[in-house]
Structure 1
Amino acid sequence: MLRYAEVFGNDKDGYRIQSGKYSTQKEAEAVAIKLLESKRTNYCSIIGSKN
């Protein structure tokens, strides 16, 4: 289940939907895999920082 979504971007570069903030990369990957396998999306990108 998608619990959070935020739209960000601009007209020049396009817009993206961020589906949430996760504590670890592993947690983010698990959510991305579930979204892809359930065919709720056909593209996932994980962006993060250790800072």
Structure 2
Amino acid sequence: MPRRALELQHRVRNTLGVVRSVARRTVATSETIEDYSCHLDSRLEALPECRRW
């Protein structure tokens, strides 16, 4: 596999791990499905801002 493809695969896997973690933590702090939906959406919208370097 080309080096760029390997790097992209690595980044995608890392990002999916972050998304899984955010989803799990959101479940733990949400009381209703509506809370979960709202909180998860907000956290996922904020994710690109947090990932800027």
Q: Identify whether the pair has TM-score above 0.5, normalized to the shorter chain.
A: no
Give the structure-1-normalised TM-score: 0.38
Larger fraction in strand: 1
* Rg (Cα) greater in structure: 2
Tell me: higher relative CO, structure 1 or 2? Use CA pairs within 8 A at least 6 residues apart: 2
Give the structure-2-normalised TM-score: 0.37
